[in-house]
Structure 1
Amino acid sequence: MSAAKDLKQQLEVHATALNKLQKDIAKNHQVRRQYTIQQGENEMVQKELELLDEDANVFKLIGPVLVKQDLVEAKANVNKRIDYISGELRRLDNVLKGLEEQQNTKKEEVLKLQQRIQALQPGKARA
């Protein structure tokens, strides 16, 4: 009976790890969603800035105050933001890929442990 108890403890450890991985994946998706929204907003601003004449007035909201900003500087800032956000999205995709691989491995380990526990239980009908 000790072997079954050990297997159950291992199962609990792996199930806890699997649960943590699933939470990490959900958090990754949430952060990715936020970056995707920001990327869309910045791309929209970029398109709007491209429509302006070179001598147009551009203002940046800093706290409660609108501050005049050079058009070239505004375009550069938006482009930098889009580059940064794109980089973060790529990084999050790579992290997500690793987390999903770990999750699949943990699922397999949990399944194997469950099967071993079932095999050790006497009187159970086997398929």
Structure 2
Amino acid sequence: MADVQAKLQSLSEQFTKLQQDLQDAVQSRQKLEAQKQENLGVQKEFAKLKEGETIYKLIGPVLLKQDQADAESTVNGRLEFINKEISRLETRIKEAQGEIERKKGEIIQVQASAQAGGAPAVKA
């Protein structure tokens, strides 16, 4: 009986860790989504600019003049990176959800076998 309890405790700890990993991945994805929206807004603003207009980049407390092509390239690169990270996190989230379901099944199986194994002992 103690062996079953130890196994349940271990599975429960693994389940809790998987849930925490899933929560962390979801939070990371939400942060990336917010960054993506910010960068899409900047990209839309760039589309409104006329050729040769001045762009400034805030670096610390200083505004520095920046080339329009460089600024657009930086934002496009950032968006590409963010999209790849979102895809990677979505894959991680799906894997974590699958693993959580497997652990849940294991826990239920161990509990059921413990109850089935424990029931005859109680009757006897």
Q: Same fold (TM over 0.5)?
A: yes
Find the partner of 1:99 among 75, 96, 101: 96
**Sequence identity (%):** 36
For structure 1, list consecutive stretches of 5 or more residues without a partner in the other structure: none
User: What is the match of residue 76 of structure 2?
Assistant: 79
Using the size of structure 2 for normalisation, the TM-score is 0.94
User: What is the match of residue 44 of structure 1?
Assistant: 41
Say whether 1:67 aligns with 2:64: yes
For structure 2, list consecutive stretches of 5 or more residues without a partner in the other structure: none
Aligned to 2:51, the other structure's residue is in SS state coil
Find the partner of 2:118 among 105, 118, 121: 121
Q: Distance in 1 between matches of 2:114 and 2:12?
A: 14
Q: Distance in 1 between matches of 2:88 and 2:56?
A: 32
Q: Which amino acid aligns with 1:69?
A: Q
Say whether 1:23 aligns with 2:31: no
User: What is the match of residue 8 of structure 1?
Assistant: 5
Using the size of structure 1 for normalisation, the TM-score is 0.91
* Coordinate RMSD, CA, aligned: 1.1
Aligned to 1:121, the other structure's residue is in SS state helix
Provide Cα deviations, 1:38-87, integer angstroms capped at 9, x if missing partner: 00000000000011011100000101110000111110000000000000
**Higher share in helix:** 2
Find the partner of 2:107 among 85, 106, 110: 110
Q: Distance in 2 between matches of 1:84 and 1:60?
A: 20
